Amino acid sequence: IALALTDEEREVRLTAVRSLGRLRSAEGEALGVPQLIALAERAEDEMQIAVLLGLGETSDPRALPILRPLVRSGDPKAAVAAIDARGAFAEARRIDALIDGLSHPVAEVVKSAVRALGECHDGRVLAHLAVSLDHDAWDVRRLAADVLARYGDIATPPLRARLAVEDDPLVREAIGRALESMAGVHRSPVPTRGSY
């Protein structure tokens, strides 16, 4: 694998990086972590993303100090890859970095963090998702409303508060849909001509 990392073919190098993330000892220890950490410090572009995802596959705590700062980094692709890599870790270890992703300046990174936080069951998550309802980007607010709908009645106050001030019709629709699903209300389809 170490030799394949220096191959001139890009696809061979990417496959080698993926292999490092999956390589395990007989006891289940991730053997490729030191190589992946070394690669993370010098890799660029597509190779960096593969390295970050490989680190995520290891679920090794030594990868956390590499991944966490990248969630806040200026490069959106690296930040999204770091967020995706954090998904393989135990919930308690990944939540803080995912929360950091909510303050990234690029909306796509924030959306990735919102999606990942929506899969968590920690009580702190609800408050941070509620804050995402006030994000500048309408698509972040809409996604936050959709994710908050999963939390039930406890998410009703922040959704109602946002609905009172929301201007974007798509976000208003998402908030309304979230509130209806929590209340168990289902809209009947509009009758068509002759259906009555």
Q: What does the DSSP assignment read for the chain? A: -TTGGG-SSHHHHHHHHHHHHH-B-TT--BTTHHHHHHHHHH--HHHHHHHHHHHHHHT-GGGHHHHHHHHTSS-HHHHHHHHHHHTTS-HHHHHHHHHHHTT-SSHHHHHHHHHHHHT---HHHHHHHHHHTT-SSHHHHHHHHHHHGGGGGGGHHHHHHHHHH---HHHHHHHHHHHHHHHT--PPPPPPTT--
Q: What is the pLDDT of residues 36-48, one digit of tens each?
A: 888 887 877 788 8
Overall pTM > 0.75? yes
Q: What is the pLDDT of residues 81-134, one digit of tens each?
A: 888 887 767 666 678 778 888 888 899 999 999 998 888 877 788 899 999 999
